[in-house]
Every structure is written in structure tokens, then in C-alpha cells.
Homo-oligomer: A and B are copies of this chain.
Amino acid sequence: MARVKKELDFSLILAALSRHVDLNAEEQACFCAYLSHRSLKNKELLQREGEVADSTFFVTRGCLRSYSTDEQGLEHVVQFAPPGWWIAELYSVISKRPGTTNIDALEASEVLVMKRSDQEKLFIELPKIERYFRIITENSLVSSRQRIIDSMTLSALERYQAFCKRYPGLIFSLPQKQIASYIGVTPEFFSKMKARF
């Protein structure tokens, strides 16, 4: 069987870019030239705690998560990334030091990979790309701070309701132990909480 070069599908990532910056066809091609592709099996690890991360990932299919493991071995979900979302071990990417969180696939998934060194070249070559990342980083920071406020002001049930509102699609596709981990309760308590409505 002949090995056919797989055409990468950039439509999702170009749509994401166009929500914040205008790129002409040439600029789009320049941006895409720096992306590579990777397929992940269910549960496959993309970034392991302790290793230095050098890439940021854009999800085109499936769903990834980043999570931290505590000294008792319990996992705590930092972020879910369904199609159209970026995910990275940003601390490690920025500092070039070993990361403290893991990233894996919650189902068979596909991602576009952008190496930090390439990203930095793009920042110089195409300032609009730096603008794009500046904007989505600002938005992520707002979400992250809101989650801190929620963790201090809301009960577990209210955090669950907030989660359902913010990520309506994920409630049905994720095992509820993952959602419990994201909102910061045990699977047992989560189950009891749901039973009480």
C-alpha cells in the first residue's frame, strides 16, 4: 500500500486565529508551516511531570487534560482541552525547567504541535501571531483567576453548576471522576452530591 502524505487539516486552527487577528493567505501559510501533527491513543501521555516541555498543543480531535499528581498519588485536573483549545505545560515551556504537571489524552485525539522555538520565530516574523497569543493568554488568565475566586466563594455544588454552564459539551463526554477532580472534590463526594441534586 502506497504511503500517502497526510494532508493536515488547518481549518480549525485558522478559524481560531481569525477570531482575534486577520491574516492573509501568505501569513496563514507561514504560520501553518511551523505546525506538525500528532495522533494520540486513549490515555497516551503527551507531557510527563519532571520532563522539560518545548511545545504547545492545539487540539483538533478528541480531548486532552493537564493534571497534577499530589504526594498521595491523587490526580487534580488543571485544564480540559477539547477541539479548538490550546494546552501546554506553560511553566516548563517558559522556564525550560522540568514541568510539574502531566498532559494526557482522555480519548483518541489529534493535536497540532508548535515548538516554542518556532513560536518565538513567528513572534518576530509575524507580530500578529504574538498579538494572537497575547490575547488568548489574557483570556486564559481571566478564566484562571475566576476559577480561583470560585474555589474560594462557591460550594462544591455551585462549582459543579458553574462547570456545567462553562463547558456544557464536556459533561456528557467525560467520566464524572474527571469532573470531580476538576472542581476539587472526591469521586465519592461528587456522587453523593449529585444524588442530593
Contact = CB atoms under 8 A, between A and B. Distances in A.
Contact of A153 (B76, B79, B146): B76
Residue from A134, A145, A151 having most chain B Cβ neighbours under 10 A: A145
Interface size class of chain A, counting residues whose CB lies under 8 Å from the partner chain: 20 to 34
Contacts of A91: 142, 145-146
30 contacts: A68-B152, A68-B153, A70-B153, A74-B153, A76-B149, A76-B152, A76-B153, A78-B145, A78-B148, A79-B145, A90-B138, A90-B141, A90-B145, A91-B145, A94-B138, A94-B139, A101-B149, A123-B131, A123-B134, A127-B130, A130-B130, A130-B134, A137-B138, A141-B141, A141-B144, A144-B145, A147-B148, A148-B148, A151-B152, A152-B184
Interface of A: 68, 70, 74, 76, 78-79, 90-91, 94, 100-101, 123, 127, 130-131, 133-134, 137-142, 144-149, 151-153, 184
